[in-house]
Chains A and B, each alone.
Chain A
Amino acid sequence: MLTILFYLSATVAIIATFMVITRYHAVHALLYLVVSFLAIAMIFFTIGAPFIAALEVIIYAGAIMTLFIFVIMMFSLGTSTINQEKIWLTPKTWLGPSILTFILLVQFILIIIEDGNQASTFEVIEPKDVGLSLFTKYLLGVELSGMLLLAGIVGAYHLGKRKKNVLHRYLKMGKNNG
């Protein structure tokens, strides 16, 4: 049963991701991206990682996609942008890169398959084990990623801040006179 669900959600994830990179409208692409993330969360659940599945839904599909939606709404891209995307996405544009990346994918699959087929049934890894590993073995990593997030917050605040036009008293006077 879980195996069928795994293959089903993997198919959904791949189709949704394909739709993301071919849509013209940004919001449509974003909704397909959410579907893709939900399907990947389902994959995580079937391979015995329920904690990661929850994180995928909460953080990826929830928080990060909400950020994207806010930014797209801020731009209020109209129909002209969609037409522009249509003009940009001609076969001449996508054929070359697609063939090249497809060759890379074929190579990757060949390398993996050459190792021989190993099958496994997955046991559920409890969130407790993840937490224990996270805060003992990888404590330094947790602290470093905390620093990274802090840098991200400071960077986003600094970039998003509207700069006030501050003029010196003397310059202001000069502007009024001139």
Chain B
Amino acid sequence: MDSISMETGFIIAGILFTLGLTGVMIRRNLIFVLMSIEIMLNAAGLAFVFAGSFWNQADGQVMFIFILAVAAAEVSVGLALIILIFQKFKTLDIDQLSKMKG
């Protein structure tokens, strides 16, 4: 128990990613879907940082910074879209939104 094996870190990242994926599939509210996507992005970043720390390279942390930038851009556009959808359809239920084509 003196050191952390590489597998442990990847398994934790994998569990977090799987939880996020489950969230995307089981929730029907758009806000929860976006939150689950955030969880998945964060889990991917965790795997990157873990690999970088394991091999004593700074590259993993650089990749995490890029993931951070992508997450920020994605969230800003996604939330703006959610606001528009709510104003237009008065609902955030993705099943109802898929029926309103055209």
Contacts and interface: CB of A to CB of B under 8 A. Distances in A.
Nearest to A109: B11
B26 A71 contact: no
A68 B66 contact: no
Contact of A43 (B22, B34, B46): B46
A105 to B, nearest CB: 4
Contact of A109 (B14, B32, B65, B72): B14
A18 B42 contact: no
Contacts of A52: 49, 61, 64-65
A124 to B, nearest CB: 9
Given A133-B58, A152-B74, 18 more contacts: A21-B22, A33-B39, A52-B61, A52-B65, A60-B71, A64-B38, A109-B11, A119-B2, A133-B59, A133-B62, A134-B65, A137-B62, A138-B66, A148-B70, A149-B73, A152-B72, A156-B77, A159-B80
A89 B69 CA distance: 32
Decide if the interface of chain A is mainly helix, strand, loop or mixed: helix
A17 to B, nearest CB: 5
B56 interface: yes
B72 to A, nearest CB: 6
Interface in B22-40: 22-23, 25-29, 31-32, 34-36, 38-39
9 contacts: A17-B16, A20-B19, A20-B23, A75-B86, A88-B29, A122-B4, A145-B69, A155-B76, A156-B80
Contacts of A21: 19-20, 22-23, 26-27, 32, 36, 39
Contact of B12 (A26, A43, A104): A43
Interface of A: 3-4, 6, 10, 13-14, 17-18, 20-21, 26, 29-30, 33, 36-37, 40, 43-44, 46-49, 51-52, 55, 59-60, 63-64, 67-68, 71-72, 74-75, 81, 84-85, 88-89, 93-94, 97-98, 101-102, 104-105, 108-109, 112-113, 115, 117-123, 125, 129-130, 132-134, 137-138, 141, 145, 148-149, 151-153, 155-156, 159-160
Given A101-B25, A119-B4, A18 B19 contact: yes
A109 B17 CA distance: 12
A156 B76 contact: yes
Contacts of A74: 83
A113 B6 CA distance: 10
Given A125-B61, A133-B62, A119 B5 contact: yes
Contact of B58 (A71, A108, A125, A141): A125
Contact of B10 (A49, A112, A119): A112
Nearest to B29: A85
